[in-house]
Structure 1
Amino acid sequence: MTAGNYGTPEPENDDPFAYLYHSEGDASGSEPGQTVAQPGVPRTSYNQVKRVGERQYGNAGATAGGGYGYPPQAPTQQVPQQGQPTQYAPQQPPQPPQQAPGGRRAARGGSGGGPNNKMLLIGAVAVVAVVAIIISAVMIKGSGAKSQAGGSKPSATSGANSAQPAQSASSSSSDSTAGALPGTTDAATLTLAGGAQKSTQWSGAKASGGEYVDHMTSVGASVTWTVTAPKAASYDLWVRYANAQKDAASATTVVNGKALGWKMDLKNYGKEGDWTGWYRTFVSVNLNKGSNTVAVTCASGDSCHFNLDQLALVEAGGAKPNW
């Protein structure tokens, strides 16, 4: 050691913590990217004291952080070397935070949902209204049905009302009796006209006292029966007669003053000249509901050699009289 350097420590030994002030892997104390000072050349960069734990990445002039326990620091501006133009890094404007479509209000079901939420709300209100109308209609209908059921029940305290059903039943029974078919009747008890007469000459008649109607051979001779039909319909008119002639007899049926287009066939099924044999035949007639007139008449062109014992009116296709 010379006198000129006495008392002056060596550069690498002047500070035991010098390694903390240099970049990692740089023993000379120069920062990455900086030029080491040379004799006779002015310095363009300077070493700066760094905090413990501070690291540099990338550009030499920018710090990655403020070290342990220190806030981050703004990057220091690098001093340009002589003869070089000054360069500045373009700064980007701050970007606003991005939100999801519809924003927070849309995520919470607010007005950010647009017209779809309004349409859904209107549809829900319409459905509720329709359901309310249907329920009201059902309740009203059920109430009306209960009222009708209650009104049909007779009152136990009303004596006049309780007597009315019995009276109605009596009237119905009377009407039914009045509208029933008359059944079998004796010809001698009916209205006779045109020369028709009563007779008891021949036996075998079923009429009361054996009395029957004779002398039907004259044109215009008739037996008229007034009957009450329970309904407008077709009926069978049966007659019990006697014919002792060789040929079949015939007659015209008149209903309510109108002659039918078909004749009543009165054929002889026994011996010729035997007036004690009695037979039966029928003809279909259409009657109105209520009172009707049915007549057995000897019209022009008829062969009226027959006697009449009884007449019967039954429903079409009904049971035959017991003759």
Structure 2
Amino acid sequence: MTPGDNGASTPEDDDPFGYLYADGQANGAQPPSGGYGYPHSVNRVRAVGRRPYGQAASAPAAGAPAPGTAAATQDAHGPNPHYAAPEALAGGGGVTGPGPSRPPRAGGGGPSRGSHAKGLLWGALAVVAAVVVGIGVAVLGGDSDVPSTDDRAAGASPAPSPSDDPDSATDDDEEEEEPAELPTADAKTLRLGSGVETASDVQGAQSDGGVYVTGLDSVGSSVTWSVDGIPEDGDYTLFARYSAAGSDQSMTLTVNGKTFGSKLNMSNFAGAGDGDFAKGWTQTYAYPTLTEGTNTLTLSCEKGDGCDVLLDQLWLKKGQVTG
């Protein structure tokens, strides 16, 4: 073996791809007959972008170079082949065929970025629409006592209404102030005129000890009540409790030295028979105008009056009332 001649077993013969190099071809390197050196395999090479998917390999046309030769390789790839992809023959041994085929994607394949963005946009619009509808329902409901979302988040409770708060009483809820109690005169506290006296023989008087005033049936007889503690000027009601039996009676009322405009009506409202004074107890009233402080009230029997009565009590109330 001489330098430059290493015999038949050259690296090109050992390299299954030696036939691809110029020096290998010069030394007689040949492509393997079994397709990349694998038994029963078939070698098919095509240019990049020309490989059909999902289709069975077709037989070479008439006059085409035999597969696996250098001429076939140059024809398939041109002057600068990038790679050679094997194709399996249908029903061949060894490698039974290509892996699962993937159908081509229409329009570039798979959902486009534009359609994905549109889906997100429609989803966002649906959320906004739901929020708007919820706000509209809450506004139409209009319950001002229902706490807002911020109040509930802060743990605040609804503000109580005035009717719920016992301490928030209004002027209308305040109790009407009771008028001051005015004086009351029993028979024993009255100043008696000439011929007038007190007695307790007839039952039914309400003064202390059942005492009443009698002897008022003669002209010129009278009783006087000096009233202290009148709170203010104004109209008042004078009540008189008395007993009349048989016919109706009336007496003259004098207020602070002036005769009242009408007689004090002392009719037999109880319907008692003649002399039955125990049954005839009843009451009457008049509306005098009094001044603040002390006032003088006098009942007298004047000419033309009917004065056959027993007088029990006198009392006052503020304003013009009937009971």
Using structure 2 for the length normalisation, give the TM-score.
0.42
Structure that is richer in helix per residue: 1
